[in-house]
Structure 1
Amino acid sequence: MLKFRFLLWALTKLLQRAVKKNAACARYIHEKRLVFQIQTADGTGRHFSIADGKVNSSAGLTPNPSFTMTFRNAQRGFAVLSAKDGTDAFLSALRDQDLVIRGDFIEVMWFQGLTAYLQADKALDPH
């Protein structure tokens, strides 16, 4: 559970750094307004907000996110979110029902685009 919580906190810091150091990433979120959360089935999680060109997060859940990514448990969440091949891990988790997504799927896809800026080999502009 601690690894999962730490990973969610670290995700915020990594996204903040990407926005600060990568002009393409900053442009990607420039006019975006979004609140979403990543959690486990038992309700442990973190909610994230993107607004005014910034990424922030807080521990706990929010009542009206645009989308929610719910992992079966913290171990599966950590494994999927920290996988080297994130796309395959993400799709496998969906297929195996280790991950359930609720809400606006278009926003989920937008978020997947944002996470592409975290990949070292696509650091300049993944799009």
Structure 2
Amino acid sequence: MMKFKLLLWMLTKLLQRAVKTNPKCAAYVKDKNVIFQIQTTGGEGRYFEVKNGKINSYAGQTKSPSFTFIFKTGSKGFAVLSAKDSVNTFLTALRTQDLVITGNFVDVMWFQSLVDFIQPHAKPSLTM
């Protein structure tokens, strides 16, 4: 579970750095206002707030996120979010229900594009 929590915290830092150092990323989040969360079925995780061109995250859950990624366990979440073959791992987790996504899928797709700003490769992906 600790790896999962650390990964979510690092995700915040990576996104914040992308906003500060990449003008395209800054423009991408400039007018977006969304709150989403990434958690386990047990409720462990973080929620993320994108507002006024900034990204912040907080431990725990929020009452009404736009969307939620719910992983079966922290270890499943860590494995999916840190996978080298992120697209296939992400899709497999959805198929096996190790990951369930709830909420606004337009915002989910927006988030997927946001995550591309922190990817080390140039081609777009579905997940982190």
List gaps (5 residues or longer) in structure 1.
none
Deviations 1:70-109 (A, max 9, x none): 0000000000000112222111110110000110011001
Matching residue's letter, 1:39: Q
Q: Secondary structure at the match of 2:12?
A: helix
Distance 2:101 2:120 in 1: 26
- TM-score normalised to the size of structure 2? 0.93
Q: 1:1-127 counterparts in 2 under 5 A? A: 1-122=1-122
| Runs of 4+ off more than 2 Å | none
Name the % identity: 57
Q: Secondary structure at the match of 2:121?
A: helix
User: RMSD of the alignment, in Å?
Assistant: 1.2
Distance 1:115 1:109 in 2: 10
- Residue 22 of structure 1, CA deviation: 0.6
List gaps (5 residues or longer) in structure 2.
none
Q: Secondary structure at the match of 1:64?
A: coil
- TM-score normalised to the size of structure 1? 0.94
Instruction: State the number of aligned residues.
Output: 124
Deviations 1:46-72 (A, max 9, x none): 000000000000000001000010000
